[in-house]
Amino acid sequence: MKQLTVGIAGTAKNTGKTTTTRVLLEYFQGREVGVGITSIGYDGESVDNITGLPKPRIFLQKGDFAAVTEKCLEVSSARMKIMDRMDIHTPLGRVVCGKVMKEGLMVIAGPNQSGHLRMIRQWMGNQEAGLVIVDGALNRIAPMVETDGFILATGAAHTVDIDRLALETHSIGVICNHPEIMEIPYPLSSHGKTLIWSREGDILTELPAFLFEPEDLAGVSRLLDSASLFYCPGVISGPCLGYMGELPFREGMKFVFDDPVKLLLSDVITAHRFVERILAIGGRVGYLRSLPLLAVTVNPFYPSCRYGTHQYQADYIDREALLSRVKAAVDVPVIDVVSGRPEQLDVFWKGLWHI
Amino acid sequence: MIPKKVLLAPIDPVHDVGIKMIRRGVEEAGHQTVLLQPDLTPEEIIREILKHSVDVVLLSRSLGYGVAEILARFVDLADAVGIRQSVRLGIGGMAIRPELAAELGFDAGFGPGTTIEEALAFVEGREYVPQSVRQKKEKKDIVKGYTYKYRNETIAGLLSRITDNILSWASDKTSPGVLRAQVREELWDVDRWRNYEKMTEFLEEYPKLCGDLPRNFYEKGIMHPKTRRFVREEVVALESYIRATRERMEVPRLQHTLLKPLVFNQYGTGCPFQDTGHIKVSEAWGADGVIHFDPSWGARTEGFLDGFLTHQEDGTVITPANLNRIRNSLEPGTLWQVRAHRGLNTPETVVLAGKFKADLTKINICYGALGAGTDPARLTVDAVAAIRYAAKYGMHFDVVTNEELSGVPAYRAFAGMLITVDLALRLGGRPILQPLFCFSPEVMLEGYMRDNYVDFNVAKIAALRRIIDAPIWPGAPIGFLTHTEDRVQSSTSTAYHASLAAMLGVDAITVASSDEAYSGGPISVPAKVDTLRAVAEGFRFFGGSRIEPSGQAGVWSGEIEAGIERVLKQVVDRGEFVDAIYDGILGSREEGVYPGRNGRDTVMKK
């Protein structure tokens, strides 16, 4: 069985990342698949760092692998044999990797940047962990490039507007799963600049790697007839995508980005419209590396702040409406991990191995 | 050190004061800085980072719901543009803690109280080693620098005659308390006790000099009904608690820019374990000293029990083991006072306190013989012995005037205090004057504090300073009878009294916990913190500034000094000091105090 690294990304804090992680973990614990876990955030604490509301805890069983900071071990009831001390330093100390020797609750905070997550993934790859779960943090998405795909946890904590949630989820699904994988010549991909080149393979213009304002795209409109490929190695903002989406590029124009995260970091609805628009004019959008959206979990919970006391309390939107609207918006499995039926979960998780 | 290029950005609409202070520190250390304007978007800040090619980024932001996502987005952008591994990211703000910084994806988080040095260590990529404040606090000698010279010669002369009388009267007398102290001093050795050696001779002699309760304990093993021994698990837990607390606590100073007053806080929950918790809290919130007080029945009992004992009610039982455990729990810089002033065990308490190396004790004849119920003759004999032991062990002691609380006017209580002071000086002791800062019956009746609490307290200090050059330690606690069950009011009142004490340049103060007057049981830790925090804020607010008392303070101060002189004359005229107490010259039945009866007829000829 191949090893799979699955990220759990959220659209905001409290959208159910840790609950999804816990359900995924519990499903695979005790099966033939060895499980490894880490987090780019801080999970398993009893109360939320900001709202003070209770949080789900992570229970690790004997034999599970984990990558956590030294301080996590001090406050966890699970006991882990440290196998390696990584050269990864965080505000909570150095990240250590090991195997759980005594089951119990574990606070999980690990590497919080992509490069460091890559090191952990490689370490887990050398162990017997068939499934590596990377719990996310807040709305962070960048480190997910180091996973084979991610589950999106979304819900009312991001916005209580169900239409908006469904639309954004749809956009994320399109951005991640519809564009194709493309290749560009190596020298160009390592150039460190945004490039536009002609059908003949000549570079027409060099632009900054990171496109924040439409002014950064000055001159592009003059190249529409000769341009055949646009490659951006960095981040491109929503306004830039909006601007490019309006330009009359010629049929067959290709737009290549490093990975879907680069578009997800812009306004996802604008990025989605950009993809749709380019496809509609006969163009193509692709990535050097894929990051598929594997599934979506929905959470009706949100912390509402009481006026006057400034204390947070638990509140909920309509669970069924949320589930059905998001299901209709994407073509990947959508599940309520809290109230979903066990057989749904079974199908859901088994589907992960098909990516 | 290689100079770094540091970008600082308040990713916040307005709050950028903290980051400006950090910037100054970073620049003074030789680094180059770029300070951005407030309220830029994450994208704009990323753009500036790329433009300036910086090594370190420090952001500041106050947190609210939704803000975390903005900060996480910033980190994501930094990651996606490829600078995350080459640029170190720090976040600071009021609600930032390491856990949150980790969750947000930063390399470091700086919460409230972050020092420039801490931020600088991060900028320079070195480990931050917090400057240890544990060792900074050193015990201060309260009496140092005082000459004890009298400035009022008339009063000096009167006191000298009274001291002559006391020493002459007591010279051929002794008491069970004095004899027990002698046995404790001569036959009980603290090092042998620590080695679990049985002191047979002591155990043969000591019980014979005790009352029924301790004698039954030694001879029949019968415990006081409200006490019990700690069990082994509790002892282990206590030791573990002290160890764990010590590892993470710091010992701050309360006085801000001032050198004094030292701040004392009493414990005495009845349970030495709980006391230890109170002591650690007092130390961690800045108290300079802690005060041991015993149960009220202890003052009426001839002799001490033994063992590590907990007690159901207020006041912590004095036993060698209890004192030893409490002593060992103290931080090195904490002053420790063991009160000995009022009961039938006064001299022995001083001996035990001395053997366990207490720094201070408390002795007063007049208050102990009036307000607390010990027979005047007995306490006079015992106090002479106690003062000699205090001098021998080098323990300074305050002379409290709490009879004021029962209705004795300040000038009369002060006369009694000065009698003990003069006696102490004659015997080689170093006494500390302890006038009350209180809303006493006298001031209520006379209206001395109708307008303010300042003038009459200023008058007291001024009067004492005109009489003698001696250290002053208002207490005990300051603000007595101004406190209510409202903890805010209570701690605020203490803070104002503490600030007044600081402005008057006194040497020490004792502060109450904010629930001390109304707790209906042991004082609570949060209430202890209330007061210490309030006092610190008072010191911070006023610093070295002064307030101006009204002219009335000067008038009252003259009246107090004249009153003291008048009372001392009456004592001299009465002949015997002890008779003067019985007759009410140092506090009368009309005023509200009575000569004590505990230990009556126990004074013996040597």
Residue-wise pLDDT for B333-386, tens only, equals 999 999 987 789 999 999 999 999 999 999 989 988 986 689 999 999 999 999
Give the C-alpha separation, B479 to A35, whole Å.
64
Give A291-330 pLDDT, tens digit per residue.
Answer: 999 999 999 988 877 666 667 788 888 999 999 999 999 9
Lowest model confidence (mean pLDDT) among A91-105, A182-196, B163-177, B208-222: A182-196
Sign of CA dihedral B280, B360, B598, B406: negative
**Chain A interface includes B79 (CB < 8 A):** yes
Please tell me the predicted confidence (pLDDT) of residue B393: 97
Please tell me the predicted confidence (pLDDT) of residue A186: 72
Mutation for testing the B interface, residue in A113, A193, A287 having most B CBs under 10 Å: A113
Q: How far is CA B273 from each of CA B311, B349, B433, B474, rounded to the nearest angstrom?
A: 11, 21, 31, 28
Pairing mode, strands B309-311 and B227-229? antiparallel
Give the C-alpha separation, A181 to A178, whole Å.
10
Give the C-alpha separation, B313 to B316, whole Å.
8
Give A84-119 pLDDT, tens digit per residue.
Answer: 999 998 888 899 999 999 999 999 999 988 999 999
Give the C-alpha separation, A314 to A322, whole Å.
17
Residue A355 has pLDDT above 60, yes or no: no
Residues from chain A that touch B44, judged by Cβ atoms under 8 A, are: 212
Lowest model confidence (mean pLDDT) among A294-308, B220-234, B505-519: A294-308
Give the C-alpha separation, B232 to B82, whole Å.
59
Q: Tokens in use for B49?
A: 């980072």
Question: Phi/psi at B428 (nearest 5 deg)?
Answer: 90, 10
Find the helix or strand (DSSP H, E) in which B589 lies: none
Please tell me the predicted confidence (pLDDT) of residue B134: 47
Please tell me the predicted confidence (pLDDT) of residue A309: 61
**Chain A interface includes B50 (CB < 8 A):** yes
Beta carbons of B595 and B171 less than 8 angstroms apart:
no
Please tell me the predicted confidence (pLDDT) of residue B133: 47
Please tell me the predicted confidence (pLDDT) of residue A352: 66
Sequence-ordered list of residues with C-beta below 8 angstroms from that of B378, at least 6 positions apart, any chain: B175, B177, B344, B598, B599, B600, B602, B603
DSSP structure class, residue B287: -
pTM for this one? 0.68
Please tell me the predicted confidence (pLDDT) of residue B131: 61
Please tell me the predicted confidence (pLDDT) of residue A291: 95
Residue B125 has pLDDT above 90, yes or no: no
- Side chain identity, residue B172: D
Which CATH topology does B153-560 take?
TIM Barrel (3.20.20)
Question: Phi/psi at A36 (nearest 5 deg)?
Answer: -120, 150
Give B40 or A261, the one with higher predicted confidence. Answer: A261
DSSP tally for chain A: helices H, then strands E? 10, 19
Sequence-ordered list of residues with C-beta below 8 angstroms from that of B47, at least 6 positions apart, any chain: A210, A212
Residue B304 has pLDDT above 90, yes or no: yes
Contact A142 B76 (CB under 8 A): yes
**Domain positions in chain B:** 5-123, 153-560
Residue A341 has pLDDT above 80, yes or no: no
The domain covering B5-123 belongs, at the CATH homologous superfamily level, to Cobalamin-binding domain (3.40.50.280)
Give B276-289 pLDDT, tens digit per residue.
Answer: 999 999 999 999 99
CB-CB: which of A42, A113, A210 is closest to B103?
A42
Mutation for testing the A interface, residue in B40, B61, B103 having most A CBs under 10 Å: B103
**What is the pLDDT averaged over residues A216-230?**
91
CB-CB: which of A92, A140, A262 is closest to B98?
A92
Give the C-alpha separation, B164 to B161, whole Å.
5
Q: Alpha helices, DSSP H only, in B107-211?
A: 116-123, 153-170, 176-187, 190-194, 200-205
Q: Tell me the pLDDT band of B69, cut-offs 50, 70 and 90.
A: confident
Give the C-alpha separation, A246 to A340, whole Å.
42
Q: Tell me the pLDDT band of B130, cut-offs 50, 70 and 90.
A: low
Contact A109 B103 (CB under 8 A): yes
Question: Phi/psi at A320 (nearest 5 deg)?
Answer: -70, -40
HSE, CB side, 13 Å, CA atoms: give it for residue B203: 11
Give A326 or A351, the one with higher predicted confidence. Answer: A326
Pairing mode, strands B396-400 and B309-311? unpaired
Question: Phi/psi at A31 (nearest 5 deg)?
Answer: -95, -175
Contact A113 B98 (CB under 8 A): no
Three-class secondary structure of residue A66 per DSSP? strand
Beta carbons of B433 and B470 less than 8 angstroms apart:
yes
Give the C-alpha separation, A13 to A140, whole Å.
9
Burial class (CB in 10 A: 0-12, 13-18, 19+), A122: exposed
Give B495-510 pLDDT, tens digit per residue.
Answer: 999 999 999 999 999 9
Please tell me the predicted confidence (pLDDT) of residue A49: 62
Question: Phi/psi at A225 (nearest 5 deg)?
Answer: -75, -35
CA angle B12, B14, B15 (to 5 degrees): 75
Residue B430 has pLDDT above 70, yes or no: yes
Residues of chain A within CATH 3.40.50 domain(s) are: 4-176+291-352
Give the C-alpha separation, A135 to A132, whole Å.
10
Beta carbons of B491 and B530 less than 8 angstroms apart:
yes
Find the helix or strand (DSSP H, E) in which B19 lies: helix B17-28
Beta carbons of B27 and B118 less than 8 angstroms apart:
no
DSSP structure class, residue A206: E
Give A118-177 pLDDT, tens digit per residue.
Answer: 999 999 989 988 899 999 988 899 999 999 999 999 999 899 999 999 999 999 999 999
Please tell me the predicted confidence (pLDDT) of residue B61: 79
Residues from chain B that touch A216, judged by Cβ atoms under 8 A, are: none
Residue B132 has pLDDT above 60, yes or no: no
Helical packing angle, B487-503 and B454-467, nearest 10°: 40
Q: How far is CA A38 from each of CA A1, A97, A121, A143, A152, rounded to the nearest angstrom?
A: 21, 9, 9, 12, 17
Which CATH topology does A4-176+291-352 take?
Rossmann fold (3.40.50)
